[in-house]
Amino acid sequence: AQTVTQSQPEMSVQEAETVTLSCTYDTSENNYYLFWYKQPPSRQMILVIRQEAYKQQNATENRFSVNFQKAAKSFSLKISDSQLGDTAMYFCAFMLNRDDKIIFGKGTRLHILP
């Protein structure tokens, strides 16, 4: 069975700083995808970034980038130049290429301080 672990329940950083959220996962499969979802106080989840396991290059989306270490089964999210609007709950998630379900971690609550 696949599992996703987020070891940081809560984090706070000052506005404009860079912050890294950690995620580890466990699987015996080779073909899968990893995701970071953002859930702001409004509660509506949105996809931040997606990484395909067979791609060595780390995915980036503007200020958001990942550090994907396949051998270590690690998938961290880096937010550069953090903004107040980045305050949210962030979920790391996993999906097998052959499956139809996403497995979510427990989340990291991120506070961006003015």
Partner 1 sequence: NAGVTQTPKFRVLKTGQSMTLLCAQDMNHEYMYWYRQDPGMGLRLIHYSVGEGTTAKGEVPDGYNVSRLKKQNFLLGLESAAPSQTSVYFCASSWGVNPTDTQYFGPGTRLTVL
Query: Where on the chain is the footprint of partner 1 (CB under 8 A)?
Result: 4, 9, 32-33, 42-47, 50, 52, 91, 93, 95, 97, 100-107
CB of 6 to partner 1, least distance (A): 8
R_g (Cα) of the chain, nearest Å: 14
- CA distances (Å), origin 66, targets 42, 47, 85: 24, 13, 19
Is 80 in contact with 66 (CB distance < 8 Å)? no
Provide the 10 A C-beta neighbour count for residue 68. Answer: 20
Of 46 and 84, the one with the shorter C-beta distance to partner 1 is: 46
Residue type, 111: H
Of 19 and 49, the one with the shorter C-beta distance to partner 1 is: 49
CB of 31 to partner 1, least distance (A): 9
Of 15 and 29, the one with the shorter C-beta distance to partner 1 is: 29
CB of 49 to partner 1, least distance (A): 11
Of 7 and 14, the one with the shorter C-beta distance to partner 1 is: 7
CB of 104 to partner 1, least distance (A): 3
